[in-house]
Amino acid sequence: MPNTDSPKPRRRFNLLDAIERPTEWLIYLCGWSGILAVAAIFLFIFKEAAPMVPRLDWVEFFTSSRWIPAPGGDNPPSFGALALIAGTLSTTGLALILAMPIGLGAAVYISEFAQGKVKGTLKVLIELLAAIPSIVWGFIGLMVLGPIIQRVFSADPGSWWSHTMVWLRLASSETGAVQGTNLLTGGIVLALMSVPLIVSLSEDALRAVPDSFREAALALGANPWETVRRVLFPAARNGLLAACLLGMGRAIGETMAVLLAAGHSNRIPTVLTDPVRTMTATIAAEMGEAVHGSDHYRVLFILGIVLFVITCSINVASDLIVKGVRNQAQQ
């Protein structure tokens, strides 16, 4: 009786099947890379700051403005970061106040009103603004905005303009001549740096709104502005809010621009024309001079931890706010 069992055909080698499993692991690794990078950064910063954590006077650190890391003689150093924290938050807050209306207004115009070459040109210019290095923005604040602000806010002490500036809390009657590099200059520069990010993300959020929303609003008799205010903004508020908060994160982590434009003076600002000093600028300016392993060196890393915690808190808060707004909209 003949053998009816035929031999099974040999399976040919397939390169795609061979690399499928390594590709899956590579994708998993890419997905976890962001979390691993953040954890590695935090561990590195905490490792350098850890020897100073039990020896630092934390009450003085958060309540004092005396930042004297290398005093002369036998005087003890002072590590009071209150003015640095206040300078960071004040410049960031002012930048956000200036950048939000400009960025959202520009995004609405580009997305809803600009047509043809005007729209394409504006989008290219916004991208070019985002590509300008921060050190160039610092030069602009130092050499262009600084002299303008100094001329505008400097006046005779007895003039009506000087009294008006003091009454509006834009200038102080106790600090004498206004310095060109100050809180206002730094805030304007940070706002200009944050605007391209806010415009780009806000425009994407507005374009993501279905055209049926616009058509329905226009069919009901709404004019373009009413369509934007009552239809597009509520529909895209998650993306718009995320754009503004990401712009805030862009401003709070900036270094070189505020180092040149904000005055770099260790003081708590009381008016817009007071020079300020931020934590990022302090780290950049003093890290090269600090002795490796010294208290000064360790405290700079503690400043980095404080800045890291602030930025993480902003990101977590923004995520919670966006989720809360989304859940409210779904109810």
Tens digits of per-residue pLDDT, 183-238?
A: 999 999 999 999 999 999 899 889 888 888 888 888 888 888 888 888 898 888 88
Query: Which of 254, 156, 148 lies closest to 197 in space, CA to CA?
Result: 254
Tokens 């930042």: give the residue: 67
User: Which DSSP category does 113 fall into?
Assistant: I
| pLDDT confidence of residue 318 | 73
**Residue-wise pLDDT tens digits, 125-166:** 988 888 899 999 999 999 999 888 888 777 555 566 666 666
**Per-residue pLDDT tens over the stretch 1-10:** 555 555 555 5
pLDDT 10s digits, 106-119: 999 998 888 888 88
| Tokens of residue 152, six digits | 């505008």
pLDDT tens, residue by residue, 157-197:
556 666 666 666 666 655 445 677 889 999 999 999 999 99
User: CB neighbours of 298 closer than 8 A, spacing ≥ 6?
Assistant: 48, 49, 51, 52
Q: What share of the chain is helix, strand, coil (3-state, %, to 5)?
A: 70, 0, 30
| Separation CA 126–CA 197 (nearest Å) | 9
Alpha-carbon span 318 to 249, nearest angstrom: 10
Q: Which tens digits make up the pLDDT trace of 70-108?
A: 887 778 889 999 999 999 999 999 999 999 999 999 999
pLDDT at position 289 is: 87
Helix (H, G, I), strand (E, B) or coil at 220: coil
Distance set, CA 184 to CA 164, 180, 272, 329 (Å): 17, 9, 5, 37
